[in-house]
Structure 1
Amino acid sequence: MAASDRSVVVDIRTRRAVKERAPETPDGPDPLLRTVYGVILRDERLDQDRTLDDVARAVGMSKQYLSEVERGRKEPSSEMLHSVCDALGLPIEQLLTRAVRRITASRRLAAHRPTGTPRVELLAA
């Protein structure tokens, strides 16, 4: 991954970089649905300060499998998605709604972003 393909997440309270991650709105084709679901589930889990192990135990799956789901590497069944959502207290409808919003936002940004233009994102806590 080239340096220009990464975004830095900054905690605006401490003004320090928290972590580096791939952009959620990549140039090119739409992200896979499993990738979008994974990002949403990981964000929800982290917002609740829960570990992979905690959620995986609640669902009855290995934390390695849950990690792969969160990274978009595994395509979970609808039953598995429902179980993870239940463990997080996230209605499945919200998962679906958030996924549609992310994909729609990705398409809008891709349509309006000139190629080669640096991108700046402000993420609030």
Structure 2
Amino acid sequence: MSTHAPNEARIIPLRPQTSPPGSAGATRAPQQPSGAPETPAPREPLWRDLIGDALRRERLAQERTLKDVAETARISMPYLSELERGRKEASSEVLAAAAKALGLGLADLLSLAQDELARYARSQVGQSQVGRSRLGRGRTSPTTQYDGLCLAA
């Protein structure tokens, strides 16, 4: 049964609020049970951040300039910069062009980003004692059991 009023819209934020507590734009956080330590949940990386990091790492490893890669990919230099900083969500065509300009295939670029995401997931499983206790003895966590790439549109 729902706990909200029938004519009241529920708002589910996609990102945590960053305004300081007590400011006019801040939303009220749910109450912690008494005695529970306040630990902020780590922010899960966004796909655009992972892709951008992979693009920048590869470009710097090749000692190429932003201008050079942007011209080769036939995309604007400011747009490529925005991609590398995780500010823009690129289409698959743009990602393929940027990857090709770096001598990679689209699958290679996505694999680099997936490796980072898998590394993040493993570090979170390693830090989570609650997750381990629920799995039972002798079982592995779902994130360490499967090491594959899944993309959904």
Same fold (TM over 0.5): yes
**1:55 Cα offset (Å):** 0.5
Partner of 1:36: 50
**1:78 Cα offset (Å):** 0.4
**1:93 Cα offset (Å):** 1.1
- Check if 1:66 corresponds to 2:66: no
**1:30 Cα offset (Å):** 2.2
Over the matched positions of the two proteins, sequence identity in percent amounts to 44
1:31-110 to 2 correspondence within 5 Å? 31-110=45-124
Compute the TM-score of the two structures, normalised by the length of structure 2.
0.54
Secondary structure at the aligned position of 1:74 is classed as coil
State the aligned residue count. Answer: 88
**1:52 Cα offset (Å):** 0.3
Partner of 2:4: none
Structure 1: tracts of 5 or more residues without a match: 1-26, 115-125
Q: Which has the higher helix share?
A: 1
Q: Once superposed, which parts of structure 1, at least 4 consecutive aligned residues long, lie more than 4 Å away?
A: none
Inter-partner Cα distance in structure 2 for 1:97 and 1:59: 19
* Two-structure CA RMSD over aligned residues (Å): 1.5
Structure 2: tracts of 5 or more residues without a match: 1-40, 129-153
Compute the TM-score of the two structures, normalised by the length of structure 1.
0.65
